[in-house]
Structure 1
Amino acid sequence: MTPQLLPPVVVSGFGRCGSSLVMQMLHAAGFPVTGDYPSFECEEYGLGGEPPPAGASKVINPECNPPPGGPYRWIWLDRNHAQQAKSQAKLLRELAGIRLPRRDVRVLACSYAPARRDAFDVMRRLGGPVLVMSFEELVSDPCASAKRISDFVGCGQIEQMANVVKKRSADCLPYLLERELLQGAA
């Protein structure tokens, strides 16, 4: 008997939602992932390139950049919209020197709900099951989050997955955690 091939996993959401953290958790479990630590972003997927290989790929904003083919197993990450927009503004400031006015940060926060509906339309069209999680859930209960992810993708290694999560508030940090992660990996 030939084992059933499972569709690839797409970890998705909007920027600053926790998708990199989920990819780090999958990587810690030995699950095959695309892209490089700590963000695991891989431009060829979700931009009209080849379908993601078996394993997990990260696709941000699937409503704008749907991956080709399907079906997939989707892990969708939500986050408090105000905190997510604040984190996105911080990223722009830190990496590009762009300072968004508070009004623009509020507009960004308000844009997530309609964009989420569009993203879910794309996921339904491409097919496959969807595991919806929140960033807040990931950082407040890493063990339960790791178990949910492990059960969904079938990777085991729950303790290793949970150990990836840094103890912190779910609120936007005043610094980029990615810099700390890269320094620790060096």
Structure 2
Amino acid sequence: MTDAPNIFVAGLGRCGTTLVMTMLDRGGFPVVGSRPAYELDEMRPGQHQEVILRQMRGRAVKWIDSIAFSVPIGTRALTVWMHRDPIQQARSQMKLLGLEANRQDARRMAARIRADELRARETVRRLGPVLDIAFESVLQDPTGTAIRLSVFLEGHGKLETAPAAAVVIPRSPLCAPDLSIEFHLMREAGHV
């Protein structure tokens, strides 16, 4: 797999990267990391990126902070870029941090998300092809999303679309008032 590209599922926090990683995992596509979060300490700033990236080629890797974790120039990658309504994303981030999501703070955080997203998208675009997926579209059409993922990743691993789509819990794209979805995923993975 030395000639395989790196495959990233990237975005800013609370945009659906974990959901897409779960879809890939359940659909049989090779992933790095374990459920429910698929997060790796190696994908944080200050790590030996070239060695880590070489070891992860051909498998999907969750990459949340695409601004801080620098990928060496010349790295060949396919990136699934996740995005979400910035206000809902801000509310979800605040909820996860245990902060009250009042309108003014949510708007300020949403503005920061928009600015950070522009920089982060530029980082991933220079690596190769990017598939943009909205969190809202995953919830509205999980089968269509699984098909788009399968086509995008064709030639780099097989994705069974039916099991991938089946992991999506039908729900509103609005930020839930509690962490019930997150706790459900943790219970399902045997972490609670």
TM-score (norm 1): 0.88
Tell whether the 8 Å contact from 1:45 to 1:67 is kept in structure 2 after alignment: no
User: How much identity, in percent, do the aligned residues show?
Assistant: 36
Task: Structure 1: state its 5+ residue gaps.
Answer: none
Could you tell me how far 1:139 is from its partner in structure 2? 0.5
Count how many residue pairs are aligned between Structure 1 and Structure 2.
179
1:159 corresponds to? 162
Q: Could you say which residue in structure 2 is the equivalent of 1:87?
A: 92
2: distance between equivalents of 1:128 and 1:151? Answer: 16
Distance 1:108 1:90, change over 3 A: same
**Greater shift after overlay, 169-178 or 82-91?**
169-178
- The equivalent of 1:56 in structure 2 is 60
Q: Which residue of 1 aligns with 2:132?
A: 132
Residue in structure 1 matched with residue 178 of structure 2 by the alignment: 175
Unaligned stretches of 5+ residues in structure 2: none
Could you state the TM-score of these two structures normalised by the residue count of structure 2? 0.85
Residues 15 and 45 (structure 1), Cα distance of their counterparts in 2 relative to 1, 3 Å cut? same
TM-aligned CA deviation for residue 100 of structure 1: 5.6
Give runs of ≥4 in structure 1 deviating > 3 Å.
3-6, 98-102
Provide the rounded CA distance (Å) in 2 between the counterparts of 1:60 and 1:4: 24
Superposed CA RMSD in Å reads: 1.9
Q: Secondary structure at the match of 1:73?
A: strand
CA distance in structure 1 between the partners assigned to 2:70 and 2:139 by the alignment: 27
* AA partner of residue 33 (structure 1): V
1:33 maps to which residue? 31
Tell me if structure 2 keeps the 8 A contact 1:7–1:72.
yes
The equivalent residue for 1:65 is 69
CA distance in 2, matches of 1:77, 1:171: 16
Distance 1:181 1:53, change over 3 A: same
